Amino acid sequence: MNTENAPDYGPALANASVLIIDDEPGMRHFLHKILSPRVKRVELAVSAVEATKHLDNTQFDVVILDNIMPGKTGLDWVKEQRRVGLYADIILMTAYADLETAITALRVGVSDFVLKPFRANQILSAVMRTLDRSHLQRDNHLLRHELAAGRGGTFIGRSPEFQEVLRMLERLAPLPTSVLFTGESGTGKEIAARTLHSLSNRRDQPFVAVNCAAFAPDLMMQQLFGVREGDSDNRHGLLYLADGGTLFLDEVAQMPYAMQTALLRVLDDQRVRPVGSEREIPLDLRFLFATNADLDAAVASGKFREDLFHRINVVNLSLPRLADRSEDIVELATYFMQQFSKELGMAPLDLDAETLLKMRRYGWPGNVRELRNLIERSVILGAFPTEFAGHGEAVGELAIESLELVTQRHILHLLDESDGNRAEAARRLGVSRKTIDRKLAAWGM
């Protein structure tokens, strides 16, 4: 078959793994010749017994099988394998499309039929339909999960503390290493994890975030690992849906102890066994974790497995408090103001110098999340709370504060022009370097 002018079927087909089951050498050779130049992997099996051995060792996206095979029909084999854990989509080749066969195929979860004899473009179209349907189902499931969690955000900042985190993310991005993000609540641990994923070679694959405190302990295993229900209904877990991408487990300290044991096995073996299944599924996942709790104390008290702690704590990346990178507040506040003004269809508020100075002096115990919520609430109400509101032309004490604002803006402008070089900014101002250091320290910088 000439493949030089064959149409491009896209990355879904190019990344697929296919198992072909047929006792006829000619058909196996024909299908292999069609698919091998276009998919990532093709395996061949001459019988149901050989196919079962393949499934015990490898996960396939699509299984193409003949319904008439020695010993048992293809549909009987599918039904048998669904019971022990068959998760691939099935394309059935048959010369007889009678009603009974069609009904049985639907019951055991066959995705598509191909009537013999068929041409190359027909089997390719069937495979593409199957992959498209499967990917759509996965994307819908992940989108519902994402919307229910209400997650998202942008990693923003120019402060030295923020830039150091960003440098670490860039260094870790090409590696398969697990990372544990620590820091106070609201410092942006999940956004940092998403940034790491977007910088990695897995960026085109799913990023699945799971809050370990959001699931009931008895349901968490099913949600993560999946569950086999009945002869044909295998409900995929989030581990399976994230395959090829990144799984982010937030608030990992809240994970039930039994789940910790199961997760340790997944990390060691890169395989998962759905609840009720006899067969494990191989995975290709990068694991990221986050906590604002003291895991050392949790280990000491027996609430967290020590071996799991050492397994996830390969690289510990601590996110700084917003108060420790207060120079990022202006950029963050501006970003959130633009975001919520657009989303809510409401006029943005003026982030005047006095308001920004008050924001920089505030301690932000809730960190970036608190700042984000403040901006959203203020846009909705049409004004900042009194403690952050600017007052325009100032007198008395506020006049002194206005002078300080002018001084601050001028010094920060010169620092920006000097690429942060304090000695150069001091030279331009005609003051000592210690004066610049003292001013910045007073401003929380």
Give the gyration radius of the chain's Cα atoms. 29
What do you get for the CA distance between the two ends of the chain, in Å? 68
Q: Is the pLDDT of residue 395 over 50?
A: no
Express each pLDDT in 43-83 by its tens digit. Answer: 999 988 899 888 888 889 999 999 888 777 888 888 888 88
pLDDT for 155 equals: 79
Residues 6+ apart with CB under 8 A from 112: 89, 90, 91, 92, 126, 129, 130
Least confident interval from 131-135, 198-202, 363-367, 382-386: 131-135
- pLDDT confidence bin for 6, thresholds 50/70/90: very low
CATH node for 324-389: 1.10.8.60
Least confident interval from 14-23, 161-170, 290-299, 431-440: 431-440
- pLDDT confidence bin for 146, thresholds 50/70/90: low
pLDDT for 143 equals: 65
Whether the Cβ atoms of residue 65 and residue 77 lie closer than 8 Å to each other = yes
Q: Is the pLDDT of residue 33 over 50?
A: yes
Residue type, 332: L
Q: Is 347 exposed, middle or buried (0-12, 13-18, 19+ CB in 10 A)?
A: exposed
Average pLDDT over residues 376-388: 91
Q: Is the peptide bond before 117 cis (omega within 30 degrees of 0)?
A: yes
Pick the CATH number of 11-134 from 3.40.50.2300, 3.40.50.720, 3.30.310.50, 3.20.20.70: 3.40.50.2300
Q: Is the pLDDT of residue 287 over 80?
A: yes
Average pLDDT over residues 403-412: 67
How much is the mean pLDDT over the chain? Answer: 84
pLDDT for 399 equals: 38
Residues 6+ apart with CB under 8 A from 331: 156, 157, 158
pLDDT for 397 equals: 40
Q: Is the pTM of this model over 0.75?
A: no
pLDDT for 279 equals: 83
8-state DSSP, 252: G
* Cα 138 from Cα 147, distance rounded (Å): 14
Topology (CATH level 3) of domain 151-320: Rossmann fold (3.40.50)
Q: Is the pLDDT of residue 10 over 80?
A: no
Q: Let me know if the fold of 11-134 is the same as that of 324-389.
A: no
- pLDDT confidence bin for 400, thresholds 50/70/90: very low
Express each pLDDT in 364-381 by its tens digit. Answer: 999 999 999 999 999 999
Domain limits of the chain? Answer: 11-134, 151-320, 324-389, 393-445
Topology (CATH level 3) of domain 393-445: Arc Repressor Mutant, subunit A (1.10.10)
